[in-house]
Amino acid sequence: MSHIYLIEYYELVTKQQRTKQLDFYVYVDTVVFTINPDRLLEPEDRLEVLVMKRPGGAKGKWALPGGLVDDNEKLELTSIRKVKEETGLTLKPRDLHQVGTFGDPNRDNRFRAIAIAYMALVPHPSELRPIKYSDAASFVTYRSLRDNRLLEFDHSNIIYAARKVARGLLEDTNVALSFCKPKFTMTELRKVYESFLQYKVDPANFRRKVAATSDFIIPLEEFSDFGSAPGRPAQMYRAGKSDQLSTHIRFRRSLDKVRPTGASKKT
């Protein structure tokens, strides 16, 4: 039995009250999305997911940060604790959005395990400092993780489901602005959407949708050469006061176009 499996085994046997009542174990897994700030990358390559390699885990495979729920511990606090321990990243309860429950009987070949998944959107951190249980923690492109052979368990399906939740937030709230500087161009904002959509959006169509949403962004009397057509400075914007968008910013292309390789249609 590997070192990490021994650790998990002893964690399991110490939870006596729970194991007397249940025939399965409850985990929390967390999908943390960020956007690589490198402007030279294509938008589809800027969306990244926080993953780790577990000691004793499948060779060459990544896994989401996560672990067993402690007795008397809220699920959100399990998410925050495990992300901190395994990657060094600090999350707060307000960062978390529940994705769903994953309980396929065959998702873990060691024992019956139920996973509650959370999702968080964070600016790109300068570094990661795992505390324990991890050989390596890194942000890896979503595009590369579409191949579920690179991930342990059913984590590919969890990531795919989490991106749908993130897309819903971008459609209905101002969360996209958290990836922008205090002053930004329309192009910079559009690339945030393109990163999560995983395809390019017509600039004119995007501008119309944003303009139809009141108090989402506010135009400034400032201009930038970045992201504009040659010889045509781009107008700068700042965040408006509205957290919820008055008009949904939605695009029609199906998420099925970027479904992870081998992932099931229902997650």
Contact between 188 and 207 under an 8 Å Cβ cutoff? The reply is no
Contacts of 198 (CB under 8 A, 6+ apart): 44, 47, 142, 143, 257, 258
Please give the model's pTM, rounded to 2 decimal places.
Answer: 0.83
Contacts of 128 (CB under 8 A, 6+ apart): 50, 87, 88, 89, 137, 138, 139
What pLDDT is recorded for position 226? 62
What pLDDT is recorded for position 11? 58
Contact between 159 and 145 under an 8 Å Cβ cutoff? The reply is yes
Domain range 3-170, CATH architecture = Alpha-Beta Complex (3.90)
**Distance (Å) of CA 197 to CA 59, 65, 97, 160, 168:** 30, 24, 18, 12, 11
What pLDDT is recorded for position 110? 72
- For residue 17, the SS3 value is helix
HSE-CB at 44 with a 13 A cutoff on CA atoms is 10
Domain ranges of the chain: 3-170
Backbone angles phi, psi at 51, to 5 degrees: -135, 170
Q: How far is CA 133 from the centre of its chain?
A: 21
What pLDDT is recorded for position 49? 97
| Residue 242 structure tokens | 């509205």
What pLDDT is recorded for position 38? 86
pLDDT along the chain (267 residues), means of 10: 49 49 82 91 92 81 93 95 93 97 78 90 84 77 90 93 97 96 95 95 95 95 71 89 92 58 50
How far from each other are the two terminal CA atoms of the chain, in whole angstroms?
Answer: 30
What pLDDT is recorded for position 140? 95
